[in-house]
Structure 1
Amino acid sequence: MELKKELIHEIHAIIATARDRAIRSVDTERVLMYWQIGKVIFEEEQQGRERAGYGDFLIKSLANTLEPEYGSSFSYRQLNLFRQFFRIFPIVNALRSQFSWTHYRMLIRIDNEDKREFYIAETTKNNWTARQLERQVNSQLFERLLLSNNIKDVLAVAREEKYPTDAKEIIKDPMVLEFLGLKRESAYYEKDLKTAIITHLQDFILELGNGFAFVARQKRIHIEGDEFFIDLVFFNRLLQCFVLIEIKTTKLTHQDIGQLQMYVNYYDRYEKQEFENTTIGILLCTDKNDAVVKITLPENNSKIIASKYQLYLPTEQQLIDEVKKEIEKLSKGETDI
């Protein structure tokens, strides 16, 4: 007699689920333990705050006592982190059960309160793993969204206090595609970039933003006997519209804009349902001239977005430079496309 494959699969699933619950349970207890240690340290430190250097003396003394017995998890640096953990998250009931210690360790290191609150809201809403959270922080998602939005709107969308009404509230410029593994120094063709995006589709959707669902690649359309191919088609459930993406490995031209405008018009006239909103087009390019984009498109344009992409994580200085550019545009009465 042979065991049924379905039975084996079912038992495998039970074991995997139980192991996952056990791991989460252990990590939850670890988070609570670190929080409680941080609370005890903080409260003891407050009692002796009149004594100069008491806080530093306290943590060093505890580390000298605990580290030999319990290992590096209770070093001076770690105990300082536990204390900081309690200071930033002083209400134990506010701790999120889906967050691991790795999540919290990343969040603790964020000094800006608005920025930390943004990542807490986005991680909760999207159920990001610790690795996904780390990637979003390192790619400076918060700062990139602020290039075309204010803090109030960015936080409101993250907390789901409002739904985005403008594509710019969730679509970033620049986009960071370091996960594709393409070297910026190397020559590559558009087909290489498109293939890499499909291979890393889950990461690409994460970079695109909230609410995106993949529909098609190289979508074929016919217009009076002529055949065209749209690079990527998505649907965004928050904006309730199709999102068409064209990818260029060169600086953007007005011809590229015209081509995407044609695709957007086609989708609005032949694919869009009555209850859906107007189609949005995104041009991903290595470089762009905002003035050319602005003049090529109608003044009230809200359908075409030109976004630069880069194949490496931006430095803090690069983001600062971008913010300065935006401030200069605003002071001159200009707006982004």
Structure 2
Amino acid sequence: MSLITVHVDYRLALSEIKQRIQTTQMRAVLAANNELLSLYWYIGQKIVTLQQAQAWGGAVVEEMAKDLQAEHPGIQGFSRTSLFAMRQFYLFLSPRFTIVPQAVGQLPWGHIRTILAKIKDVDIALFYASACAENGWSRSILDLQIEQDLHLRQGLAPSNFKAVLPAPQSELAQQTLKDPYMFDFLTLSQRAVERDVENQLVSNITRFLLELGKGFAFLGRQYPLEVNNRSYFLDLLFYHTRLKCYVVVELKTGEFKPEYVGKINFYLSAVDDLLRGEGDQPSIGLILCKDKTRLDVEYALRDVNKPIGVSSFITKEIPIDIQTQLPTVAEIEEELAGKL
């Protein structure tokens, strides 16, 4: 290794050049995608104009697909189905926009077609387009979020954020939470306790983080805190990279009870004293329970000065009669040992 390669000025310059290359590549990809979407918008507009002026109906799409494919045999994307999608693209958004809206312009064409196929309201479509661009969802994840009605759950958890956090931190924190959370990747019996939920959430940490949303960094389960020579354990502890704060999560398999607020309020005070560093925002608490009454939550949070939200969650439950028929871990191990 030469002296040049280890010099701080060289390392800094090299890092800046790499960053510039990456940024330029990303801009080139986005520019190419914007040009492609502008072309699809233009084609859709032309098809609609011809149909309206000449009353040709779907026949014009059929003919145009044949002619474009004959003229450009090596270029994909001009099939009959694709041209109808371009027409739908233009018809869906043109009443509100004269060009491709910015949120939509950041998405690949396949993602846009998924939105067009599943969403009939422009505002809801723009919600998913913005969320997809912000979170970098794959097409399958976008499809999952639409199926699970994310737009009806995002930012709807009851909380006291507006009362105890300054703007815009309060608005950002509120939009971070969902209600309910869809933990349909969990399979729980009706007798499940909090530790069962915790075990399965950690075992499915990738899907758990996906449902929580962008920005959550998992720090640990049963996270230990020492207060006044006593040990306390947080069910789950996260750090949110956008909110710049710790997030304490308490799991409850039953209905919300007001006393849960006192417990998580205590934990938040301890986390702020023991873990919160310079530049960190006040820690946030999230109580996840199987069910809740909104009025009970509002009363419980009304005079609390720590930021706390309460959300319910949905899982797959195994009926008791089926649960009793399933083999235990010991029985499975015994069966496997007998076959070896």
TM-score, with normalisation over the residues of structure 2? 0.65
Counterpart pick for 1:126 among 115, 135, 138: 135
2:292 pairs with 1:292: no
After superposition, the Cα gap between the structure-2 partners of 1:64 and 1:219, relative to the gap in structure 1 and judged at 3 Å, is same
- 1:70-114 per-residue CA deviation (whole Å, 9 max, x = no partner) reads 9xx877655322322344497579698974433121222323222
Counterpart pick for 2:183 among 177, 180, 194: 177
Partner of 2:60: 58
Partner of 2:162: none
1:172, distance to aligned residue in structure 2 (A): 1.1
- Counterpart residue identity of residue 270, structure 1: L
Is the partner of 1:182 in helix, strand or coil?
strand
Alignment RMSD (CA, Å): 3.8
Where in structure 2 are the equivalents of 1:1-337 lying within 5 Å? 36=39, 39-40=42-43, 42-52=45-55, 54-59=56-61, 77-87=81-91, 88=93, 91=99, 99-109=107-117, 110-145=119-154, 147=156, 164-166=169-171, 167-178=173-184, 181-183=185-187, 186-299=190-303, 301=305, 303-311=307-315
Q: Which ranges in structure 2 are unaligned for 5 or more consecutive residues?
A: 1-24, 159-166, 317-340
After superposition, the Cα gap between the structure-2 partners of 1:79 and 1:227, relative to the gap in structure 1 and judged at 3 Å, is same
Distance across 2 between alignment mates of 1:239 and 1:93: 28
Partner of 1:10: none
- 1:256-292 per-residue CA deviation (whole Å, 9 max, x = no partner) reads 2222121111112222224322211111000123333
- Counterpart residue identity of residue 50, structure 2: Q
More displaced 10-residue stretch of structure 1: 298-307 or 243-252: 298-307
- Counterpart residue identity of residue 193, structure 2: Y
After superposition, the Cα gap between the structure-2 partners of 1:305 and 1:250, relative to the gap in structure 1 and judged at 3 Å, is same
After superposition, the Cα gap between the structure-2 partners of 1:212 and 1:42, relative to the gap in structure 1 and judged at 3 Å, is same
After superposition, the Cα gap between the structure-2 partners of 1:185 and 1:80, relative to the gap in structure 1 and judged at 3 Å, is farther
How many residue pairs match? The answer is 273
CA contact (8 A) 2:224 2:232 kept: yes
Identity percentage of aligned residues: 26
- Counterpart residue identity of residue 174, structure 1: P
Is the partner of 1:177 in helix, strand or coil?
strand
Distance across 1 between alignment mates of 2:35 and 2:202: 40
- Counterpart residue identity of residue 170, structure 1: T
CA contact (8 A) 1:241 1:279 kept: yes
CA contact (8 A) 2:188 2:197 kept: no
Q: Which ranges in structure 1 are unaligned for 5 or more consecutive residues?
A: 1-20, 150-161, 313-337
Normalized per residue, which structure has more strand?
Answer: 2
Distance across 2 between alignment mates of 1:278 and 1:95: 31
Is the partner of 2:235 in helix, strand or coil?
strand
After superposition, the Cα gap between the structure-2 partners of 1:291 and 1:139, relative to the gap in structure 1 and judged at 3 Å, is same
Partner of 1:333: none
After superposition, the Cα gap between the structure-2 partners of 1:144 and 1:96, relative to the gap in structure 1 and judged at 3 Å, is closer
1:124, distance to aligned residue in structure 2 (A): 2.0
- Counterpart residue identity of residue 202, structure 2: I
User: Looking at CA atoms only, which structure, 1 or 2, has the larger radius of gyration?
Assistant: 2
1:223, distance to aligned residue in structure 2 (A): 2.6
After superposition, the Cα gap between the structure-2 partners of 1:239 and 1:197, relative to the gap in structure 1 and judged at 3 Å, is same
CA contact (8 A) 1:144 1:173 kept: yes
After superposition, the Cα gap between the structure-2 partners of 1:258 and 1:146, relative to the gap in structure 1 and judged at 3 Å, is closer
- Counterpart residue identity of residue 261, structure 1: N
